[in-house]
Chain A
Amino acid sequence: MTLLALAAVGKDYARVKPRGGRVRLVWDLLHERAAKDVFRALDGVSFAIERGESLGVIGENGAGKSTLLKIIAGVIKPTRGTVESNGRVGALLELGSGFHPEYTGLANIDLAAALLGLAPSEIAASRERIIDFAGLGEHIREPIKHYSSGMVVRLGFAVATALAPDILITDEVLAVGDESFQKKCIAWMERYLAEGGTLLFCSHSMFHVQKLCSHAMWLKDGCVERYGISADVTRDYLAYHEEKEARAKEGVPRARAESAGWYAVQRLALDADCVEQGADLTIDGEVYAPDDRAPVVVIGVVRADGTPVFGVTSDMDRVALRDAGDHRWMFRMTLTRLPLQPGRYAIRAHAADPEGVRVFDHVERTLTVRGETRELGLVHLRHRWHDEVER
């Protein structure tokens, strides 16, 4: 059964000019005119969650994660698209689940119940459990404005969990709790999922997303960048960050065209952008040489963040490039039974002078390696255990 379905959901926020802009905005809103100057926080988001499924929402700060969760929780209405929800939604957004700062912890428990339409008497039984789970001791009788952020989250989590929601939405709750509370939360969420609960989990911890969610969605600039099995999406997301960091470090020069007088890689092609671990990969290319001597090509494999994995030059292997005339020299090589671990890599080619001493430009192509392995590290090393295999 589909518990939650979003179709082409988008949300615009009005951008307001400092002077008089707000008066103008109110005027427009009162006349039900859409604000003219808007920021697209979210656009064209569609997905469905079945009962018992769990979805991790990942993305950079400002990517629209919180906006999406708020739309699902019903706190804001989407500007475009529809949200269909068939169950009780419990939400923990931006620390706490809508507490009133003046109320005591106890009063906020009653408030949370009222928000779900329950009379205080109806949650009498759960109240003890909430107080126990939150573990705030005497602070439960104090107004929560005196709580630390960690304490608010503890109470929020305790409340959201005790009221048995069909969908639990959590936004970065685990970031503020202490170690032992985090463990308690994770244990609770795992049990909740095992019992058929549905989780919508927003986090910057890929570890937690992989651990708790079957699916993941990567939001980028308000749009869905990728949606799928959480292991794949988180891997791509991490690779994206590695690439971004690498780019920030060196300002990677991308494929440069003809540079007259210099040795240059004119063309670099892979037979596939995406290969299975253990498959063959063929690299094709062409190097420009200003004179008539055969140039040397350097082929390198680096991880998306720039960590070198492997490198070889044509002269090391005593291979000569084929002369294609007109100063063009061709090469073609196959990396057999690619032992790279699943992830994102780049294949680089550098043109070097015939002596293989001076390296000129650098052209790269990205490569994704897919696989189901749970091994760690960059490459698969062939290995053999001397102990019995467990049955």
Chain B
Amino acid sequence: MTARDRALLANFYRREVAVRYLGSTTGLLWALVHPLVLLGVYHFVFTTIFRATGFAGESFLAFVAVALWPWLAAQEALQRGTVAMGNYAGMIRKVAFPHELAVYASVGATFTLQLAGYVVVLIVLAVAGQGIHLAGLVVAIPVWAVVCVAVTGVALALAALQVFIRDIEHILMPVLMIVMYLTPILYPLTLVPASVRPWVAANPFAWMAGRLRDALLDGHLALHPGDAAAAVVALILFAAGRAVFRRLSPHFEDFV
């Protein structure tokens, strides 16, 4: 990346953070309030209405919070990344710059802000005695990084396709909804019937949820054998997404 591209990325990133969160009146607050409200609703539905059990003695709040934030970050990053080319349409039509920078800025800004919210919530939960091992962040943050790399790759591909096929944006929402319920975020993997468990466990987000709970709830800091595989998968997704993006990006100007 040239010095000019770095300066440009820094500029985009700053603006993504500023315009999107600080610029609006609800602002940064909303980035924190939205997951908190969701967490509250899930807590009410699952512990008060369904009286769900089987969280291995851990508090439901801590159990869900640990995996919900990175999922929301991934979901939001995919949605924002997908429409990034549309948001930068004016520039794409008039200036020469690497279009992928817009996706990086979009995804990067989303992850940064959600990670900040995550750390705040974990500290609050730890102080409130919900059994959070803050030392687990040593593992949790690299896990976020792996998810971020993978999501960036997928977002690059979706962003490029969205330029040509406008339905992507609309298909994405229900797809994300389905993936969320198929991911052990609101429930532990142990509750899944053994016959389908391998399928659910194969979901990359299941790896993410499992590793975060392992580190933050149980305080296990050791590396798992699956970690290397996850990192490789993330890099492959990134490389593939970028390849798709680079093939299509010379033609954006005409369609964006």
Residues in A lying within 8 Å of B, measured CB to CB: 13-14, 22-23, 25-26, 29-30, 32, 70, 73-77, 91, 93-94, 96-103, 107, 110-111, 114-119
Please tell me if the beta carbons of B19 and A75 are within 8 angstroms of each other in the complex: no
Q: Which residues from chain B contact A30 at a C-beta distance below 8 Å?
A: 244, 247-248
| Distance, CA A116 to CA B97, complexed state (A) | 10
Asked if B251 is at the interface (CB within 8 A of a chain A CB), the reply is yes
On whether A102 and B19 interact (CB within 8 A), knowing A26-B165, A76-B253, A114-B7, the answer reads: yes
Asked if B40 is at the interface (CB within 8 A of a chain A CB), the reply is no
On whether A29 and B248 interact (CB within 8 A), knowing A110-B11, A114-B7, the answer reads: yes
Please tell me if the beta carbons of A98 and B94 are within 8 angstroms of each other in the complex: yes
Please tell me if the beta carbons of B250 and A76 are within 8 angstroms of each other in the complex: yes
On whether A94 and B94 interact (CB within 8 A), knowing A26-B164, A76-B250, the answer reads: yes
Q: Which residues from chain A contact B247 at a C-beta distance below 8 Å?
A: 29-30, 32
Stretch in B54-62, B85-93, B126-134 with 4+ CB within 8 Å of A: B85-93
Asked if B177 is at the interface (CB within 8 A of a chain A CB), the reply is no
23 cross-chain CB contacts under 8 A: A13-B254, A14-B254, A22-B255, A26-B161, A29-B248, A30-B248, A32-B247, A75-B95, A93-B94, A94-B93, A94-B94, A96-B90, A98-B90, A98-B93, A98-B95, A102-B87, A114-B4, A114-B8, A114-B11, A115-B95, A115-B97, A116-B4, A118-B7
| Distance, CA A253 to CA B92, complexed state (A) | 48
Most buried by B among A73, A93, A111: A111
Please tell me if the beta carbons of A22 and B94 are within 8 angstroms of each other in the complex: no
Please tell me if the beta carbons of A22 and B165 are within 8 angstroms of each other in the complex: yes
On whether A75 and B248 interact (CB within 8 A), knowing A25-B164, A96-B90, A118-B7, the answer reads: no
Please tell me if the beta carbons of B11 and A111 are within 8 angstroms of each other in the complex: yes
Q: Which residues from chain A contact B7 at a C-beta distance below 8 Å?
A: 114, 117-119
Kindly identify, within residues 1 to 33 of chain B, every residue whose CB is under 8 Å from any CB belonging to chain A.
2-4, 7-8, 10-11, 15, 19, 23
Smallest Cβ-Cβ distance to B243: which chain A residue: A30
Output the least CB separation between B181 and chain A (Å): 28
Please tell me if the beta carbons of A117 and B3 are within 8 angstroms of each other in the complex: yes
Which 6 pairs from chain A and chain B are nearest by CB? A117-B4, A98-B95, A74-B96, A98-B94, A114-B11, A98-B91
| Distance, CA A101 to CA B15, complexed state (A) | 12
Q: Which residues from chain B contact A114 at a C-beta distance below 8 Å?
A: 4, 7-8, 10-11
Q: What is the 8 Å Cβ interface bit string for chain B, positions 70-81, against chain A (1 contact, 0 not)?
A: 000000000000
Q: Please classify the interface of chain A as helix (H, G, I), strand (E, B), loop, or mixed, using the class held by over half of its residues.
A: loop
Kindly identify, within residues 213 to 256 of chain B, every residue whose CB is under 8 Å from any CB belonging to chain A.
244, 247-248, 250-251, 253-255
| Distance, CA A16 to CA B50, complexed state (A) | 52
On whether A100 and B91 interact (CB within 8 A), knowing A26-B164, A30-B247, A110-B11, the answer reads: yes
Smallest Cβ-Cβ distance to B95: which chain A residue: A98
Output the least CB separation between B43 and chain A (Å): 36
Q: Which residues from chain A contact B96 at a C-beta distance below 8 Å?
A: 73-75
On whether A75 and B4 interact (CB within 8 A), knowing A98-B90, A114-B11, the answer reads: no
Output the least CB separation between B98 and chain A (Å): 11
Smallest Cβ-Cβ distance to A23: which chain B residue: B165
| Distance, CA A30 to CA B96, complexed state (A) | 21
Q: Which residues from chain A contact B165 at a C-beta distance below 8 Å?
A: 22-23, 26
Q: Which residues from chain A contact B93 at a C-beta distance below 8 Å?
A: 75, 93-94, 98
Q: Which residues from chain B contact A98 at a C-beta distance below 8 Å?
A: 90-91, 93-95
Output the least CB separation between B164 and chain A (Å): 5
Residue in A25, A70, A99, A102 whose beta carbon sits within 8 Å of that of B253 in the complex: A70
Q: What is the 8 Å Cβ interface bit string for chain B, positions 87-125, against chain A (1 contact, 0 not)?
A: 110111111110000000000000000000000000000
Output the least CB separation between A256 and chain B (Å): 45
Q: Which residues from chain B contact A101 at a C-beta distance below 8 Å?
A: 90
On whether A117 and B94 interact (CB within 8 A), knowing A26-B165, A26-B248, the answer reads: no
Q: Which residues from chain A contact B19 at a C-beta distance below 8 Å?
A: 102-103
Q: Which residues from chain B contact A118 at a C-beta distance below 8 Å?
A: 7
Output the least CB separation between A81 and chain B (Å): 15
Output the least CB separation between A107 and chain B (Å): 7
Output the least CB separation between B152 and chain A (Å): 19
Q: Which residues from chain B contact A77 at a C-beta distance below 8 Å?
A: 250
Q: Which residues from chain B contact A14 at a C-beta distance below 8 Å?
A: 251, 254
Output the least CB separation between A163 and chain B (Å): 13
Known: A97-B94, A98-B94. 11 other contacts (CB 8 A): A25-B164, A26-B161, A26-B165, A30-B244, A73-B96, A75-B92, A94-B94, A99-B90, A114-B7, A115-B4, A118-B7
Smallest Cβ-Cβ distance to B91: which chain A residue: A98
On whether A75 and B15 interact (CB within 8 A), knowing A22-B164, A25-B164, A30-B248, the answer reads: no
| Distance, CA A60 to CA B158, complexed state (A) | 38
Most buried by A among B8, B19, B164, B165: B164
Output the least CB separation between B24 and chain A (Å): 11
| Distance, CA A116 to CA B3, complexed state (A) | 10
Q: Which residues from chain B contact A99 at a C-beta distance below 8 Å?
A: 90-91
